[in-house]
Chains A and B, each alone.
Chain A
């Protein structure tokens, strides 16, 4: 081969040289946006906390941003968010986990295909549709059972958000179950155990790290959920544990303040950023815990 025969590489090299920087530029846009969001939240939250003491922000139990003597205690919002996240997990996790176990270890090829597709469809339902469903079907059903229930109530939101996070639980716990070597199923059966016993005593425990991670990540989704909780649970900031009363989550407050009622520079405007910052911290905390547990879970089963 002559040298000339090799010279074609020159024109290709230009494309290669440009590809890296071009892709980097795209990455910078994404990361830059994240940095900007965090930066703005940080600055505005900082300004807000110079006017409202951080201690009062996290300890006061009244959230009355537009009252004559406004109060900015974030606890009712935080408690409401926790209530929705935990409630949704209570409903969503058992069904999601059982579905994942069924699909992974019991379903035939056809059932698995159909149900996997159905789960994907569930994940594709816009949350406003879920919210509408909650308001028009779930809430009336609850009020039929417990007539004293408020029109906006936490239970309806928990049930519906539980349905919304179901696909997340299914997909993530399935991948946790998949990461357990299939040879363990055979080994268990070869030791004279039934399928159910092997699943319950060996395979699910071996995947437990990943399953707990799935729960955390699903709860992070529930924490960030806005449309369903606003439509189903309303927007009343009150510190209550009754699932039959309405409440206002962090997200519901943010959605409401985003409507633009609050003039720039006012305390109420600042509260929007402070609450957003709290929401971000909670979501990231849950996601980080989930990832940490997932990686630790993999360590335990890795061979």
Chain B
């Protein structure tokens, strides 16, 4: 394994190494190096358009869907460069699951949404059992979504986002990428998602892009501060929040940068 290990921890499950991304003439990320250790929750904070989403989408090769994108540097998943010729992006996306800012449910039933990913990968087990398992995990099994045949789009916004998480969990991914999953939700729905993320820590590595500084502080082990496409600071959440090394991080955390 040739992935650089910045700490004494186990080798990172996911790592960006000197990663730069630009869309045509617009630079979105510049030279970002960010290892994500297995079993941790890593928050990526920063102002709007600081590159949080681009970084997340680099981890599962979604950026390449945008015409005119140029990616340099390396992204490693379990030590393997995911841009290597032999790597199938579909396989990467099965193992690095992603939940988007806006709920993106299909206009189908709750069950069909949950079963979509497993069916695509030829899941051999019992889909009903799997659905129960992941819906229970997001606390939807007993609620409205307990009716598996209900149209997914009839759920409330918060329930829809939790169903999106369940749908991704059904892939049994190793890493969960959450792109501002609560930014479109009210405080009560946000609180439920946060406690869910807290519970997911046990089984998953989570990378959470968030606009909410306090959300990052509450949920994550490690925090990265991104500004203008550059990684300004990356470290344990507590020390980053209480004792930022970079003055720019401090301005952001104290709210002088919106």
| Chain A residues at the B interface, C-beta cutoff of 8 Å | 109, 181, 183-194, 197, 201-202, 205-206, 300-301, 303
Contacts and interface: CB of A to CB of B under 8 A. Distances in A.
Contacts of B62: 186, 189-190
Nearest to A193: B120
A111 to B, nearest CB: 13
B153 A192 contact: no
Interface in B76-104: 90-91, 93-94, 97-98, 100, 102, 104
Contacts of A205: 107-108
Contacts of A109: 67
B123 to A, nearest CB: 10
B103 to A, nearest CB: 9
B1 interface: no
Contact of A303 (B116, B121, B153, B171): B153
A17 to B, nearest CB: 47
Contacts of B90: 189, 192-194
B232 to A, nearest CB: 28
A184 B120 contact: no
Given A191-B117, A192-B94, A192-B117, 13 more contacts: A109-B67, A181-B104, A187-B100, A187-B106, A188-B116, A189-B62, A189-B93, A190-B60, A190-B93, A190-B168, A191-B94, A191-B171, A202-B106
Given A190-B97, A192-B93, A301-B107, A183 B116 contact: no
Given A190-B93, A192-B121, A184 B116 contact: no
B40 interface: no
B167 interface: yes
A109 to B, nearest CB: 7
B10 interface: no
A191 B93 contact: yes
Given A192-B90, A193-B116, A186 B171 contact: no
B217 to A, nearest CB: 27
Nearest to B93: A192
A185 B121 CA distance: 17
A89 to B, nearest CB: 25
B188 interface: no
A295 B25 CA distance: 40
22 contacts: A181-B104, A183-B102, A187-B104, A188-B106, A189-B62, A189-B90, A189-B93, A190-B60, A190-B98, A190-B168, A191-B93, A191-B97, A191-B116, A191-B120, A191-B167, A191-B168, A192-B117, A194-B90, A202-B116, A205-B108, A206-B107, A303-B153
B65 interface: yes
Contact of B116 (A185, A186, A201): A201
B117 to A, nearest CB: 4
B91 to A, nearest CB: 7
Contact of B65 (A184, A189, A197, A202): A189
A191 B105 CA distance: 11
B100 A183 contact: yes
Interface in B52-80: 60, 62, 65, 67
Interface string B139-156: 000000000000001000
A58 B100 CA distance: 58
B88 to A, nearest CB: 10
Pick from A188, A206, A301 the residue with the most CB of B within 10 Å. A188
B11 to A, nearest CB: 24
B34 to A, nearest CB: 20
A90 to B, nearest CB: 28
Contacts of A201: 116
Nearest to A192: B94
A194 B167 CA distance: 16
A184 B106 contact: yes
A189 to B, nearest CB: 6
**Of A189, A197, A301, which is in contact with the most chain B CB atoms at under 10 Å from its CB?**
A189
B131 to A, nearest CB: 14
A70 B191 CA distance: 81
Given A187-B100, A191-B120, A191-B167, A300 B93 contact: no
A191 B163 CA distance: 13
Contacts of B167: 191
A206 to B, nearest CB: 5
Contacts of B91: 192
Contact of B171 (A188, A192, A197, A300): A192
Interface in B111-146: 116-117, 120-121
Nearest to A302: B153
